Structures are given as C-alpha cells and as structure tokens.
Amino acid sequence: MTTQDLSAVQGQENVWQMAQRQLDEVGMLIGLNESLHGFLRQPKRVLEVSVPARMDDGSFRMFTGYRVQHNLSRGPGKGGIRFHPDVTLDEVKALAMWMTWKCALVNIPFGGAKGGVICNPKEMSLQELENLTRRFTTEISIIIGPEKDIPAPDVYTTPQIMAWIMDTFSMQHGYSIPGVVTGKPVSIGGSAGRDKATARGCMYVVDEAMEAHGRTIEGATVAIQGFGNAGMYAAQLMAEQGYKIVAVSDSHGGVANEHGIDVKRLIAHKFETGSVVGFTGGERTDNKEVLEFECDVLVPAALEKVITAENAPRIRAKIVAEAANGPTMPDADDILFDRGIMVLPDILANAGGVTVSYFEWVQDLQANFWEEDEINDQLKRKMTRAFRETYEQAKRHGVSMRKGAYCVAVARVAEATKLRGLYP
C-alpha cells in the first residue's frame, strides 16, 4: 500500500490527493487511456518562489509563493492567485487541476493554473500588500502573460491587486498589457459584470437544477455558508430572482431566519461591521448549523472540505451548489448521492467567474468592450449548456453530477492532449 493509499484509509487525504482521486474515478468510468491518465494526473509545471517584500518599518520579510500550471493543451493557463496564511503547494496543485476541468467544462480555450502566496493580508498594510504583489509578479513573470498564463483574483486578492500585477508586468515590457490578468478594475481593461460573475453563474445552474427537479424558484429556500464576494452576490442575485435566503454565515458566525432574511439590510450590515454577526433580522447561528439548515438549496461559498462524511448525513438541502472550490469531500459526495441530493460541483457551479474572465481577456485582446447585458446573456448560455451536458452524462452513466461534469471535461482535455501529441 502506497503512502497516498494509507493516508486516504486513515482519513488524512489532502486536497491534492482528493483531486487526483476524483480524476481516477472518472478515468475508469470513461475508459481513459492509461498513458493519458498518468499525464493528466500530474501538473505540467510547478514554480515555487521566495518573495522578499519591504514592510512599513523598513525591514524585509520573506514570503513563499507558488504558480502551478496543470495542463495547457487547450490554451494558456487560467486561474486565480490567493493570499492566505494556509496556502500549501498541494492546495495550489489541486486548484490548478480543477481549473483545467472547469475551463474545459464550460468549453473556453484555457488550460488550468493557480497561484498563491503564504501570507496574512489582514495583518498587512495596503503599501505592504502592494510591495508583496509587485515582487511576486516579478518572480512569476517568467511563466505568465496573455498567451501563456493569465492570473485572476481569488481568496483575499482583489481588483486592486490585479491592477498592480498588470502594471508591474507592463512596466517590465514597456507598454500596457491588460490581458495579462483578469478581474481588473473596469477603468483599466476589466470587464463589466466580472464582480458578480461567479455568483450569477452559480444562480444560473441552480435555476437549471430546480427545473430538472420540477421545482419552482419563487419562495425556494437557500442557505449560504460564506459571505465574501461569491456568497454575498449569490444571496443578492438569488433574492432578486425570487429565492428566499434563510441562513447565511461568514468566518465569524451566522444568522438564520426561516421566514427569510432581508438581504439588502444584511449586506449593509456586513459592510458596516465587517461581519453578518449581530444582524437583527434573524437568530444567531454558526457555520456548522448553516450547512445543516433545512432548505431547498445549500451554497457552500467558503473554503475547501467543509462537507465531510461526518456531517453529510445531516445535510438537509435538496441541491448543493458549490460556489467554493472543493467544499465536498469524496466520501461525503457518495453519501449525498446515495441520499438523492444533487451536488452541483465546483467546476460547474462556480465556473461563471472564469467564463467572464475569458470574456474580459477576449475584450482586452480586441480592445473592444461589451455591454453588461451582452456579457450576462453569453454567460447564461455557457452555464446552461454546461449544466445540460453534465446532467446528460450523469444520467447516461447513472452517476453524480460531479462525475458527469468530469466525464465531459476530462474527455475534452484528453482529446486535446492526444491530438497535440508529445514534443519532441
């Protein structure tokens, strides 16, 4: 028994092993060629860099950063950069692999990549963050670029950080290169609709899932764990669509009201206080209880591995829409599938962000920018098509929506890899 097999048996499977295991299961399902399987199981390129950054007191502090490119067979790498104290290389490798499948599933011409810096941005000033960002950009500039690998925002990174990356990369080349990143401010080449794209795409696939279940949207109840960009805008957009938001949480705690939460008031409270905790329009709750709240739709919009074999039997939603990356452990996936709960996997449910990032990249390359209504219409077409292809494969093989999504995505990446062949 290998170390990886042993760790999985002992319940210590990390996020990279989890990503590989998901590929392994689908590889067997679709009869993936053994050589191609082995090729897709490993990242193409891993770059680890030391990042010296000047602090406000004049001292230098060393940080560690990563940029991983998993597969580039379908186009340049695409994936966010996260600034977080818990960033690990295995996490970045897993996220890069998931980006490969995500881009393939929504059929945009990108491969998968991801980046991260081990730091705590909450403890850093704006100037320190700028110094860190510009130095990290310089260190990874050898492998990024509009034709190579296009970063984007992720956990604790913002449009401002993307602007610094773009400016640093542009200064190195002597002219503006807006296409090197997406998720930028609109004033320097960002796309309309990008800020709400992940949440909007998630809502579109939930709408499709509700229709597949023969359920109406009006009054359907929603619980959301995580109230950052994706969770907050999901609450806002879904409430406007007619869903009833009944429970919400962030890293500090949560609030629940079975009769519905006033989302506009909650967002105002969040901006005023920095948390949903203390909101007067409901009862105090926590992240665990929000996951297990009785509802039609559960939206995990926080971090990885929050739905486990331990709490999966207590999930009471009918649909789980993964606005976060990797929130459901493989064993929990099996439990939810056996219980008849439809899980809309991360590579489908949160693919709206990368889809509009693709639109932004295209607009930057053409220097021709679209209206937001046009962007949202194109996003809806991409997301609904991806849902229907996933649903068809899941029904065809009698498997979960996650495996159905992987059937579509892995087959596309494998075909591109096979057609391109190996050089030399």
> Catalytic residue positions?
114
Q: Which residues are CB-neighbours of 134 under 8 A, at least 6 positions away?
A: 164, 167, 168
Can you tell me whether residue 269 is helix, strand or coil?
Answer: helix
SS3 of residue 60 by DSSP: strand
Unique residue bearing structure tokens 């002597």: 174
Cβ atoms 52, 135 nearer than 8 A: yes
The CA distance from 406 to 383, in Å, is: 15
Q: How far apart are CA 270 and CA 31, in angstroms?
A: 48
| 382 phi, psi to nearest 5 deg | -60, -45
Q: Which residue has the tokens 């640093």?
A: 168
Annotate 62-123 with DSSP letters as a single string.
EEEEEEEEEE-TTSSEEEEEEEETT--HHHHHHHHHHHHHHHHHTT-S-EEEEEEEE--GGG
At 45 the three-state DSSP class reads strand
Torsion of CA 33, 399, 315, 322, to 10 degrees: 50
CA dihedral 116, 119, 125, 127 (to 10 degrees): -50
Measured torsion, CA atoms of residues 369, 147, 86, 137, in degrees rounded to the nearest 10: -90
- Rounded CA separation 160/130 (Å): 9
